[in-house]
Structure 1
């Protein structure tokens, strides 16, 4: 009787093996087949419906008026704090630049060049002994992409002789000559040149005394902006 029981249960093992093989076979067939488009669409629709039921549907975006957005592109302009460190190091190494003053203003770094460093009184030609120092300074600025303005200043005393009709003409000619040096050493962007004459004289504190105020007013400023002056059009949003 024991042998009959063992023989009777052996077929279950073989049957289970056959069923497992058949299941594997049909799974492989399904995996290698392409589902029918209709059935697949029904399946995806069902999934989407259930997903939206629990997670909600997107809100209506509404309408949007046309918007034109412009923004200053700072991507190529050099950081002014970093630039100041470079120029300070240059001033320390070049004796001809020891009279240069660096002034930080909102959005700009001003490199102030006094008259007695660059020019003779009443003249706009750069002194020969100042050429080396000015070329060295200008050379450090050739690779920057920042917007640059060069502004000439004079004291308020009127011109009574010489080739220039007014302080404005003198200040403009001096600024133009400094700009020419900057361009000659390789600065490729546009340089804005302005003559200010004595227009900023009132900004110099009266407490310094007249002699010092007059001395400080006779200068050329290289004004380096924090941007490169180019406006970048980002995108347009149009009404649907």
Structure 2
């Protein structure tokens, strides 16, 4: 009975020992898979990696793995930013229009100018034929005196002023410029300099458009249309100049 019990006990634990021997191959297989994975990682690391994509991946992982990392706050490096830029208070354009119309009503040159109040600006269109001789970029003495009257009004306002010169389509013939664009720009600058002589000290913007806007003029007789094209516009904007 005793011998029989020992035999039964031996036969009871024998299947577990065999099961352990059968599962040993898993260790070898795991090592093989790990070595193959390491091999492919090494191949990948030796290949060419796109730097920009790699940086994007590393940044994304850094942010994900380090959520408590405090990012540096960018500071403004420009001389002007939204917190330091201020505009001076602009004057009402309707009031300015009334003052200008009264000022230029009896002037020989400015009396023939056109003053219009548009949505965002006051437009003063000066006839170029009364300001300059044909093809010239220099203001006449009569026109200079007239500019002093406008400048005497504008020097008291803080609105942004833009001066634009225009010409007709006829080819430029002056010796001091090579195109209608140059002539129109020189005339805009000449008007701006004449305003400065009256005490107008603000910065103004000057542009030359040449004959680029000729096709947008109304359908009127050609002679009058070309005369209208030869003009200098003073635009007083509803916004103030920067401090």
TM-score with structure 1 setting the length: 0.63
> Does the alignment pair 1:179 with 2:180?
no
| Aligned counterpart, 2:223 | 211
> Does the alignment pair 1:196 with 2:209?
yes
What are the residue-to-residue correspondences of 1:1-240 with 2, within 5 Å? Answer: 76-205=89-218, 207-230=219-242
Contact kept, 8 Å, 2:135 with 2:173, in 1: the verdict is no
Aligned length: 163
CA 1:143–1:217: 2 relative to 1, 3 Å: same
Query: How far 1:230 moved relative to its partner?
Result: 3.1
CA 1:93–1:161: 2 relative to 1, 3 Å: closer
CA 1:93–1:210: 2 relative to 1, 3 Å: closer
| Aligned counterpart, 2:22 | none
Query: How far 1:78 moved relative to its partner?
Result: 0.7
Partner SS, residue 208 of structure 1: coil
Which ranges in structure 2 are unaligned for 5 or more consecutive residues?
Answer: 1-80
- If each structure's strand is expressed as a fraction of its own residues, which one has the higher value? 1
Query: How far 1:218 moved relative to its partner?
Result: 0.3
TM-score with structure 2 setting the length: 0.62
Cα deviation code 1:60-113 (max 9, x no counterpart): xxxxxxxx978x967610110000000010122433321111122220011111
Contact kept, 8 Å, 1:115 with 1:219, in 2: the verdict is yes
Alpha-carbon distance in 2 for matches of 1:111, 1:201: 18
Q: Say what the alpha-carbon RMSD is for the aligned residues.
A: 2.2
Alpha-carbon distance in 2 for matches of 1:74, 1:106: 20
Contact kept, 8 Å, 1:73 with 1:228, in 2: the verdict is no
Cα deviation code 1:138-169 (max 9, x no counterpart): 11111110000111100112224533200011
The ranges of structure 1 where at least 4 consecutive aligned residues each deviate by more than 4 angstroms after the TM superposition are 72-75
Alpha-carbon distance in 2 for matches of 1:109, 1:148: 10
Alpha-carbon distance in 2 for matches of 1:149, 1:69: 23
Which ranges in structure 1 are unaligned for 5 or more consecutive residues?
Answer: 1-67, 232-240
Alpha-carbon distance in 2 for matches of 1:218, 1:108: 21
